[in-house]
Amino acid sequence: MNTMENSANVLIIYTGGTIGMKESSETGALVPMKFEQLTDEIPEIKKMGINIDSYAFNPPIDSSNMDPILWGRLAKLIKKKYMLYDGFVILHGTDTMSYTASSLSFMLENLGKPVILTGSQLPIGVLRTDGKENLITAIEIAAAQKDGAPIVQEVCVYFSSRLFRGNRTTKEDSEQFSAFASHNFPRLAKAGTDIVFNEDLLHRSKNKGIFNINTKLCDDIVVITLFPGIQEKVFKQILAIPDLKGVVLQTYGSGNIPTHPWLINSVKEASDNGVIFLNVTQCSGGRVMMGQYETSCELRKAGVVSGHDITIEAAVTKLMFLLGQELSIKEKKMHLDQNMRGEICI
């Protein structure tokens, strides 16, 4: 299948990350380089027959410094340029790529074009870099059309020959080229000699409304990972943080917690005071099923919402997104429990 229309227009947004880093002559540490230096390393992109423009963060950042304000900036940039381009490629560090992909999936409403995040494990100037293939194929996917419409109409991560739904991804390896996994949802495409899309799995927005963005996020949240021996004083101290509005509770297995009365009582008290709890499993695969074991029944009774098979990255950003909306606590919990952008299967 020839999926490319030669006149496609793609905007590359360069935020930083290893793909565009080089060794500092002073310290030897990896530091970001300018976008022009980066494209000089890949003359191939000029031969692709795709009109490519770029926008670069100044200065480019290591993605460990990504935050909700910068996510909002990315969403606003996509909104501003939406009508001018057929697709968008975001060059991003791998460390927080799954968080950015997840947050954008919630902030971009009625998205009808591809937003493909990619990066690399080795800088573009290094002989064995994975950055060239990642970038070139991400551009092809962003330009891919069928019957006059973009094949991909959602936020994705493309990495190491695989295209994933962005809000299903997790960075699982800091050394291998296949840095990302999507444990609970199949890949959307595989790039070999051809790019083969799993067309039945591609997300289409339910509302056929006009593309818009919603960048209101509330970051008064915390992630609490349970572990055997977690102390009452620590847990209670966290829940006593002023203005705390949401907690992602990383529980065991299918959503279980220890049966210490102080634990469930603290959750119940905070929940009664308006804090929203989202139950997410510590397992990379599988799902939360509150009520399957006695150790999770009480959580449900305390008003904790099931994260189903959500990733931690999507849980954090979905909670921030819903807490940022003008909705009642009941409505926020209802949306948390439902699939919004393909991030959970219920």
Q: Does 94 bind ligand ASP (CB under 6 A)?
A: yes
Residue whose CB is less far from ligand ASP, 121 or 295: 121
Of 1, 100, 95, 11, residue with least CA distance to 51:
11
Q: Determine, following the binding rule CB under 6 A, whether residue 93 of this chain makes contact with ligand ASP.
A: yes
- What is the closest distance, in whole angstroms, from the C-beta atom of residue 342 to ligand ASP in the complex? 24
Nearer to ligand ASP, 99 or 321 (CB): 99
Binding letters toward ligand ASP, positions 181-220, x by CB under 6 A: ----------------------------------------
* Contact flags string 258-297 toward ligand ASP, x per CB under 6 A: ----------------------------------------
> Residue 241 is encoded by which pair of tokens?
């943080």
Nearest distance, CB of residue 193 and ligand ASP, angstroms: 27
Catalytic residue among 18, 100, 169, 295: 18
Q: Does 20 bind ligand ASP (CB under 6 A)?
A: no
Candidates 82-90, 91-99, 260-268, 280-288: pick the segment binding ligand ASP (CB under 6 A): 91-99
Give the 3-state secondary structure of the chain.
CCCECCCCEEEEEEEECHHHEEECCCCCCEEECCHHHHHHCCHHHHHCCCEEEEEEEEEEECHHHCCHHHHHHHHHHHHHHHHHCCEEEEECCCCCHHHHHHHHHHHEECCCCCEEEECCCCCCCCCCCCHHHHHHHHHHHHHEEECCEECCCCEEEEECCEEEEHHHCEECCCCCCCCEECCCCCCCEEECCCEEECHHHCCCCCCCCCCEECCCCCCCEEEEECCCCCCHHHHHHHHCCCCCCEEEEEEECCCECCCCHHHHHHHHHHHHCCCEEEEEECCCCCCCCCCCCHHHHHHHHCCCEECCCCCHHHHHHHHHHHHCCCCCHHHHHHHHCCCCCCCCCC
Question: Taking the complex as a whole, how short is the minimal distance between the CB of residue 157 and ligand ASP, in angstroms?
Answer: 12
| 15 catalytic residue (yes or no) | no
Residues 133-152 that bind ligand ASP (CB under 6 A): none
Closest of 111, 156, 113 to residue 137, by C-alpha = 156
Binding ligand ASP (rule: CB under 6 A), the pick from 62, 67, 219, 220 is 62
98 binds ligand ASP (CB under 6 A): no
Which residue stretch of 12-20, 306-314, 318-326, 337-345 sits at the interface with ligand ASP (rule: CB under 6 A)?
A: 12-20
Is residue 63 at the binding interface for ligand ASP, with CB under 6 A as the rule?
yes
Find the binding residues for ligand ASP in span 102-131 (CB under 6 A): 119, 121
CB 35 within 8 A of CB 20: yes
Q: Where does this chain touch ligand ASP (CB under 6 A) — which range of 88-96, 102-110, 196-204, 321-329?
A: 88-96
Q: Which of 341, 214, 227, 337 is nearest to 277 (CA)?
A: 337
What distance in Å separates the CA atoms of residue 293 and residue 291, rounded to the nearest whole number? 5
Query: Contacting ligand ASP (CB under 6 A), which of 4, 13, 14, 17?
Result: 17
Q: Which is nearer to ligand ASP, 174 or 328 (CB)?
A: 174
Choices 16-24, 183-191, 250-258, 321-329 (CB under 6 A): range interacting with ligand ASP: 16-24
**163-182: which residues touch ligand ASP (CB under 6 A)?**
none
Which residue's C-beta sits nearest to ligand ASP? 93
**Residues with active-site annotation:** 18
Catalog residues that contact ligand ASP under the rule CB under 6 A: 16-18, 62-64, 93-95, 119, 121
